[in-house]
């Protein structure tokens, strides 16, 4: 059974685009609009942690930004789930902040669908 991927981004257009790209490659996508909602969605996986394969999150979001979201995930039973940051931020300082928070990878928007699929495939092996 394919593992689910949680995408956390305040842009419904971007979530739809990522969902479409990953669904075309056999992945099941679950969506959240910000970090707060993302943590709520994760609670729904408690007890079935193995169903979730990875998390993809934006950095700049209302309510709870991506860095805070990554830090919060790392305090839960999902701390070993790979987290890919998908953002417009490309500064090294932001990447370091993401890495220190616990992010596993960083992909800058706009992305090519094949780039995203390749990165996701690496994490889900």
The predicted model scores a pTM of 0.96
Domain ranges in the chain are 4-123
Residues constituting the chain: 125
Summary mean pLDDT of the chain: 95
- Rounded Cα gap, residues 107 and 18, in angstroms: 12
Q: Please give the structure tokens belonging to residue 9.
A: 């981004």
> Quick one: average pLDDT of 24-49?
96
- Place 125 in a pLDDT band, splitting at 50, 70 and 90: confident
pLDDT at residue 1, rounded to an integer: 59
- Which top CATH class is 4-123? alpha beta
Strand order in the sheet with 28-32: 28-32, 4-8, 52-57, 83-87, 105-108
> Quick one: average pLDDT of 57-81?
97
């Amino acid at each position: 059974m394919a593992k689910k991927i949680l995408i956390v981004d305040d842009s419904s257009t971007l979530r739809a685009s990522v969902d479409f790209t990953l669904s075309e490659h056999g992945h099941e996508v679950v969506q959240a609009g910000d970090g707060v909602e993302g943590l709520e969605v994760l609670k729904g996986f408690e007890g079935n942690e193995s169903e979730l394969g990875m998390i993809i999150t934006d950095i700049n979001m209302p309510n709870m930004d991506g860095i805070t979201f990554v830090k919060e995930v790392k305090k839960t039973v999902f701390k070993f789930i790979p987290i890919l940051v998908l953002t417009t931020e490309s500064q090294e300082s932001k990447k370091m902040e993401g890495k220190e928070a616990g992010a596993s990878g960083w992909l800058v928007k706009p992305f090519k669908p094949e780039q995203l699929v390749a990165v996701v495939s690496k994490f889900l092996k």
